[in-house]
C-alpha cells in the first residue's frame, strides 16, 4: 500500500467527486478499515431482530402486556428512521470518524442501561438511546467507505458491509434465543459489549481522520428534526392501529402524518441548513436508489412477515419449518452481497442493479405460484431467487446513492438512503396489517395469493427504480495508483 500522503485533486470535469492522484489518507493498514465499519454497522440490525425472542420474558419480568412490550420494537424503528439523516448530517459537519466513534460509545452505554433497566419505562428510554446511537454510526460508516475506498473497489466494500449486516440480522433471533434461555433477557444487551469494544479498537486505529469540508458550521435544524420525527412516528403508528382493529384511528394517523410530512418538506426547502437536504433528490441516481431500496425492503419485509403466517395458518406447519424456509432468502442475500459488489466494480453499477431487480421480480412471481399450489419447495426456490436478487443489487444501489452526491454530503445521503430502507419495512408491515386487520383469525390461501401477487407488481416497480439509476451515465473517475 502507498504511503499516506495528502490527496491532490485533478480536474475531472465532474463536480461531485474529483479524480485524485492518490487515494484518501488513512491512518492504519487498509485491511482494518472494513472490519471496523462492518462491526459497527452490524449493531443496528442485530439488535432490531435479537430482541424479538426476548419480548415474552421481558413481558413476564415486568408484568406488562404484549402491546406495551411491542413499543420496544416500534420506538426503535421510529428513532432509527428519524435519526439516520440527522446522524449523517452531523458527520458531514463535525467529522464522520468522530461521530461514528461517539455513536459506538453511546450504543455501549445504552446497552448497559437496557440490561440494568428497573422497569419497562426505563428500558424503552435506553432502547431509544440505542437506536439514536446506531443512527450516528450507520450512515457515517457508509460515508467513510465512499471517502476512503477507491471507486474501483468501492462496490466490493459495500458488498462486504452488506453481507455483515445481513448475517447479523439473520443471526439475531437464534443468538437471542440461546442467550435468553441460558442467561435471561438482559444478556441480549450485554452481548453488544464485546462487539463494540472490538469495533472501537479497530475504528480508532483505522478510520480516516479527514476534516469536514464545510467551512461554516451552521445552526442545527431543530424544527426539521422534530417534524421529521413526528411524521415518521405517525406512519409507524398506522400498522399498530390496524392490529388493534381501529381502522378510523389508522386513517386519522395517516392523514396527520401526511400533513406533518408536507409541513416538514416545506420547512426543509426554505431553511438554509436542513437536516434532510431534499435537493439531493434532484439527482436521478440518488432518487432512484432510494426508491429501489424502499420498494425492495417493502417486498422483502412483507414476505418475511407473511410467509410464517401462511405456513403456520394455512399449511399448518410448525415454527421450525418457517424458520428453515426463510433461511433461503437471508443466506443467499448475505452470500451474494460481496459478489454483486465485485460485479459492480467490474461492469458498472447499472448491470447488477437491474439484474438483481429482475431476480426479485422473478422470485416474487414464483412465490405466487408456490402459494397457489401450496408447495413449500417452490416457495423455497422463490425465496432463493429473491435472495440472490437482493444480494446482487444491494451493493451497487447503495454505492450509486453515495456516489451521486458531493463528497461533503455523503453522510447525509447515506442517512436518507437508510431511512428509505426503514420506510420500506414500515410500509410492508402496514400492507400486511391492512390486509389482515379484519377477520384476523381467517387465514386463507386466497388472501395470501392476492398479497404476493401485489408484491410481484411492486417488485416490478423496483426494477424500474433500479433502471433509473442508469438514467445518466455515472462519472468514471480516473484514479492513478502510486507505485
Residue 200: count other Cβ atoms within 10 Å of its Cβ. 18
Residue whose C-alpha is closest to residue 402's, from 149, 36, 135: 149
Lookup result for grid cell 433509473:
468
Enumerate the H helices of 207-347 as residue ranges.
222-243, 247-270, 284-313, 319-347
Cell numbers linked to 339: 459478489
Distance CA 183, CA 19 (A): 53
Distance CA 148, CA 207 (A): 8
Cell numbers linked to 82: 428519524
Q: Which domains does the chain have, with CATH numbers?
A: 25-211 (1.20.1250.20), 279-473 (1.20.1250.20)
Determine the straight-line distance between the first and last CA of the chain, rounded to whole angstroms.
Answer: 9
Distance CA 119, CA 117 (A): 6
Total length of the chain: 483
pLDDT given for residue 125 in this prediction: 93
User: What pTM value is reported for the model?
Assistant: 0.75
Lookup result for grid cell 483505522:
206
pLDDT given for residue 343 in this prediction: 83
Distance CA 53, CA 9 (A): 51
Q: Report the DSSP pairing between strands 9-10 and 19-20.
A: antiparallel
pLDDT given for residue 442 in this prediction: 54
Lookup result for grid cell 490527496:
7
**Block mean pLDDT (10 aa), the chain, length 483:** 35 40 43 83 81 79 78 80 84 86 94 92 92 88 82 80 78 79 88 91 81 55 83 77 73 87 88 81 84 84 80 76 78 83 80 85 89 89 90 83 79 83 78 64 69 79 64 39 28
Residues 43, 192: contact at Cβ < 8 Å? yes
Residues 203, 100: contact at Cβ < 8 Å? yes
pLDDT given for residue 28 in this prediction: 41
Lookup result for grid cell 399449511:
315
Amino acid at each position: 500500500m502507498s504511503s499516506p500522503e495528502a490527496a491532490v485533486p485533478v480536474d475531472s470535469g465532474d463536480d461531485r467527486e474529483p479524480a485524485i492522484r492518490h487515494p484518501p489518507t488513512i491512518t492504519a493498514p487498509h485491511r482494518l478499515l472494513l472490519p471496523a465499519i462492518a462491526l459497527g454497522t452490524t449493531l443496528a440490525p442485530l439488535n432490531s431482530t435479537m430482541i424479538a425472542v426476548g419480548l415474552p420474558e421481558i413481558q413476564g419480568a415486568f408484568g406488562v402486556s404484549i402491546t406495551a412490550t411491542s413499543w420496544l420494537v416500534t420506538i426503535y424503528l421510529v428513532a432509527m428512521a428519524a435519526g439516520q439523516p440527522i446522524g449523517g448530517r452531523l458527520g458531514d459537519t463535525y467529522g464522520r470518524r468522530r461521530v461514528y466513534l461517539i455513536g459506538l460509545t453511546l450504543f455501549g452505554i445504552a446497552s448497559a442501561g437496557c440490561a440494568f433497566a428497573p422497569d419497562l419505562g426505563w428500558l424503552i428510554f435506553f432502547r431509544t438511546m440505542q437506536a439514536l446511537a446506531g443512527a450516528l454510526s450507520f450512515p457515517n460508516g457508509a460515508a467513510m467507505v465512499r471517502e476512503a475506498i477507491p471507486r474501483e473497489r468501492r462496490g466490493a466494500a459495500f458488498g462486504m458491509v452488506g453481507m455483515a449486516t445481513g448475517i447479523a440480522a439473520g443471526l439475531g433471533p437464534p443468538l437471542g434465543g440461546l442467550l435468553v434461555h441460558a442467561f435471561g433477557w438482559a444478556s441480549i444487551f450485554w452481548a453488544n459489549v464485546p462487539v463494540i469494544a472490538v469495533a472501537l479498537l479497530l475504528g480508532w486505529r483505522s478510520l480516516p481522520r479527514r476534516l469536514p469540508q464545510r467551512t461554516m458550521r451552521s445552526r442545527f435544524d431543530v424544527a426539521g428534526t422534530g417534524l421529521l420525527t413526528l411524521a415518521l412516528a405517525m406512519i409507524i403508528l398506522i400498522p399498530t392501529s390496524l392490529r388493534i382493529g381501529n381502522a378510523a384511528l389508522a386513517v386519522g394517523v395517516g392523514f396527520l402524518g401526511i400533513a406533518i410530512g408536507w409541513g416538514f418538506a416545506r420547512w426543509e426547502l426554505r431553511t438554509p441548513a436542513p437536516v434532510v437536504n431534499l435537493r439531493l433528490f434532484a439527482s436521478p441516481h440518488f432518487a432512484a436508489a432510494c426508491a429501489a431500496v424502499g420498494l425492495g425492503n417493502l417486498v422483502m419485509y412483507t414476505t418475511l412477515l407473511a410467509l410464517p403466517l401462511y405456513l403456520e395458518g394455512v399449511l399448518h406447519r410448525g415454527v421450525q419449518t418457517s424458520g428453515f424456509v426463510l433461511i433461503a432468502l437471508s443466506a443467499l442475500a448475505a452470500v451474494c452481497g460481496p459478489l454483486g459488489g465485485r460485479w459492480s466494480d467490474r461492469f458498472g453499477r447499472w448491470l447488477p442493479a437491474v439484474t438483481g431487480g429482475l431476480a426479485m421480480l422473478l422470485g416474487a412471481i414464483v412465490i405466487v405460484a408456490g402459494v397457489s399450489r401450496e408447495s413449500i419447495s417452490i416457495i423455497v426456490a422463490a425465496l432463493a431467487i429473491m435472495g440472490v436478487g437482493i444480494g446482487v443489487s444491494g451493493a451497487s444501489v447503495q454505492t450509486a446513492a453515495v456516489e451521486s452526491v458531493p463528497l461533503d454530503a455523503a453522510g447525509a445521503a447515506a442517512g436518507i438512503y437508510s431511512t428509505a430502507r426503514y420506510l420500506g419495512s414500515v410500509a410492508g408491515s402496514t400492507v400486511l396489517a391492512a390486509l389482515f386487520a379484519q377477520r384476523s383469525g381467517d387465514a386463507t390461501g386466497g388472501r395470501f395469493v392476492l398479497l404476493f401477487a401485489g408484491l410481484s407488481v411492486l417488485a416490478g416497480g423496483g426494477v424500474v427504480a433500479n433502471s433509473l439509476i442508469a438514467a445518466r451515465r455515472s462519472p468514471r473517475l480516473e484514479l492513478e495508483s502510486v507505485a
